[in-house]
Amino acid sequence: MTGTAIEQVSEQEQALATSALAAVDTGKLVFPVVKLTQQLTKEVTSGDVESGHFLNALTGEDYGTSVDLVICHYYKGRFYSPRDEDQSYVANGAVAPSSWPEKYANQAFADLPDAEENFRARVNAGEEQWGSGPPITTTHNYIGYVPENPDLPVRLSLMRSSAPAADKINTLLLFGGGTPWAKVIHLEAKSRSDKQDRPYFVVQASQAGATDADQRERAQELARLAQERSAELPAEGEESGKAAKPDKPAGGLDVS
């Protein structure tokens, strides 16, 4: 790929850099999270950034109220955070890991009543109240990069209130031009209010322009890396604390 920071250094400097980092375990690297800040996000309460901004949680870079992504990999995850505890649990497979609480550990999420899809079905059938939402939430996770900084992979996780954006992104990735990285995905923060008129922000997605040859080359490199590490990729919960409504049921209880 041309024009990256790696190719702008001399061969001698690059050799020294490679040697200096030879002992780094690449299997332990993390993909920085791009998160949409809310009123209670720690960076907002500390005064470092405004709510409704996209933020790189590792570098602290504030992308503002919108950001573009070239997406190279997608995986579905699960997120569980007991309401009376600070502990949270993440998973990216079909089965709850053994490290999860005993009532869930080593069981298929599809069989757990508290998993989002089963909880939603019970609500829509009038057997459950939505309340603050399902105990176990589905997360939609994307690995990619911001075009202005192609050398730093990032991760975007969407759930609950931003699930409609995930549905749209997945549609664009499947039908947007032959490969997931054929088009740039544009993300914007949109303000909403809950029943108590408290503001929160959700992600809105749209398709931007086509990627160029360099961007597609970088996307393929990152796609290979993500696929090699797919079993190790984490999930991430959003920080809004806002529980989204279930789909309007057909013939069941319409939860508002």
Place of tokens 């090699």: 228
CA distance 161 to 140: 12
Counted domains in the chain: 1
Give domain status of residue 5, yes or no.
no
* pLDDT score for 8: 56
Give domain status of residue 63, yes or no.
yes
Give domain status of residue 252, yes or no.
no
Give domain status of residue 4, yes or no.
no
Give domain status of residue 153, yes or no.
yes
Domain of residue 133, residue span: 29-232
Give domain status of residue 18, yes or no.
no
* pLDDT score for 25: 59
Give domain status of residue 14, yes or no.
no
**Tens digit of each residue's pLDDT (9 = 90 or more) over 114-171:** 999 999 999 999 999 888 789 999 999 999 999 999 989 999 999 888 889 999 999 9
* pLDDT score for 145: 95
Give domain status of residue 256, yes or no.
no
Count CB-CB contacts under 10 A for residue 12: 8
**170 contacts: CB under 8 Å, gap ≥ 6:** 74, 140
* pTM exceeding 0.85: no
Q: Could you tell me which of 82, 79, 107, 101 has the C-alpha nearest to residue 92?
A: 79
* pLDDT score for 176: 79
